Amino acid sequence: MRITLPLILAGLLFFAACSAPKKEAAKEADTTTRTGADSLTYPQEKHFKNMRQLTFGGDNAEAYWSFDNKKIVMQSNYAKWGLNCDQIFYFDLATANMQAQQPAMVSTGKGRTTCAYFMPGDTTIVYASTHLGGDECPPEPERKPDGKYLWPIYRTYDIFVADLQGNIIKQLTDEPGYDAEATVSAQGDKIVFTSDRSGDLELYTMDIDGSNVKQITNELGYDGGAFFSPDGTKLIFRSSRPETEEEKAEYQQLLREGLVAPTAMELYICNVDGSDLRQLTNLGKANWAPFFHPSGEKIIFSSNHKGKRGFEFNLFMINVDGTGLEQISYDGVFDAFPMFSYDGKQIIFSSNRNNNGTRDTNLFVADWVD
């Protein structure tokens, strides 16, 4: 979604916002003083303990836990693994050593993929892929003359279920256009995803087998990157909703070109059927990659609203009533894609910390301290 690496529509706004100044910012971040036994954390990061780096090169993100809290599924474009665009991998958290060995790839190796998530039972995953539209990576869009960063909405994305050996066992979507950004309820009964089948980028739910598809949102604008609350009754998602007639016209024109501009996004929350929809944040800039705290009463998310140069993304947490905003992470460049383990004891996220001034975005896991 989520947002990419370089594409996660579900994805990495960061890679767009700072392609030029990124190396300078990364070096700047690495000079920040670290603390004690947790050399990977910053002094202000009181919610993290026993942090561990999991990947060591490339762009790695969209890392999500298995239901038993033992495995991780992720996407990566690490060139040393022979990749030229994002593919899906999984690994066992206790035994993986990705400095020495590539994890198991569970996507086809064709096209571009995004947004993988474990299915109930932890023997299958759901993910989106463009491989039916061709073996090659679909091209990334060129910048417009005004320099605005754009996400491609690849209309060849569909959602598939694969086993851990990489065999596709089911195709869940078969509509013309974009279907991606699927995540699974903790109850294991429903999937939420984003689709443009209505002519706009809206949220939909379906049963775990792909049946009973229901449209959840219906207002003009991009709605995506949705996750269920721990009890499965609510959805949290990011949205970029144009307000003026000029903004609406621009959004619709870009969408006709298979593009969306994700530079202004806020978080919205609703019941799983779309009722009681309300805007949760009003911070400005880009607020995205939300995930429910294990209590169901707070949301952790990534935001650049405090950044002075536009590309400094950190993790924040806010109560579901919009109060109590708290900064959680403090890297000088990029922290995003947080997910709590199902038992609430750990958190995994992507960060540019400890990358020796490169552009690498790696995965980190830490014990969570409330």
pLDDT, residue 218, reads 97
Structural contact between residues 201 and 172, judged by C-beta atoms closer than 8 angstroms = no
The pLDDT value recorded for residue 167 is 98
User: For residue 245, what are the contacts with CB-CB under 8 A and spacing of at least 6?
Assistant: none
Supply the DSSP symbol for 157: -
What are the structure tokens assigned to 224, written together?
């995506």
Stretch (H or E) spanning 29 = helix 22-30
Q: How far apart are CA 363 and CA 75, in angstroms?
A: 10
The span from the CA of 218 to the CA of 204, in Å, is 10
Report yes or no: 363 and 346 within 8 Å, Cβ to Cβ.
no
What DSSP letter does each residue of 277-309 carry, written as one string?
Answer: -EE----SSBEEEEEE-TTSSEEEEEE-TT-SS
Amino acid code (one letter) for 162: A
Residue that is written with structure tokens 């003026």 in the block: 244
The CA distances from residue 140 to 4, 36, 150, 329, in Å, are 11, 42, 9, 30
The pLDDT tens digits for 264-312 are 999 999 999 999 999 999 999 999 999 999 999 999 999 999 998 777 9
pLDDT of residue 306: 95
Please give the structure tokens belonging to residue 54: 């999991």
And the tokens for 219? 């207002």
Torsion of CA 205, 210, 212, 213, to 10 degrees: 40
Q: Is 275 exposed, middle or buried (0-12, 13-18, 19+ CB in 10 A)?
A: exposed
CB 204 within 8 A of CB 217: no
What are the C-alpha distances in Å from 80 to residues 12, 99, 100, 165, 362?
A: 21, 11, 11, 21, 14
This prediction's pTM: 0.91
User: How far is residue 349's CA from residue 291's CA, in Å, rounded to a whole number?
Assistant: 11
**Residue ranges in the chain whose pLDDT is less than 50:** 1-33
Domain ranges of the chain: 13-368
CATH number of 13-368: 2.120.10.30
Joined tokens for residue 160:
């598939």
What does 304-323 look like in DSSP terms, one character per residue? Answer: -TT-SSS--BEEEEEETTS-
* pLDDT at residue 15, as a whole number: 32
Pairing, β 87-92 against β 104-105: antiparallel
Q: How confident is the model at residue 28, as a pLDDT?
A: 39
Q: Classify residue 47 as left (phi > 0), alpha (psi -120 to 50) or beta.
A: alpha
Bridge partners, 158 (sequence order)? 129
Q: Rounded distance, CA 289 to CA 238, Å? A: 7
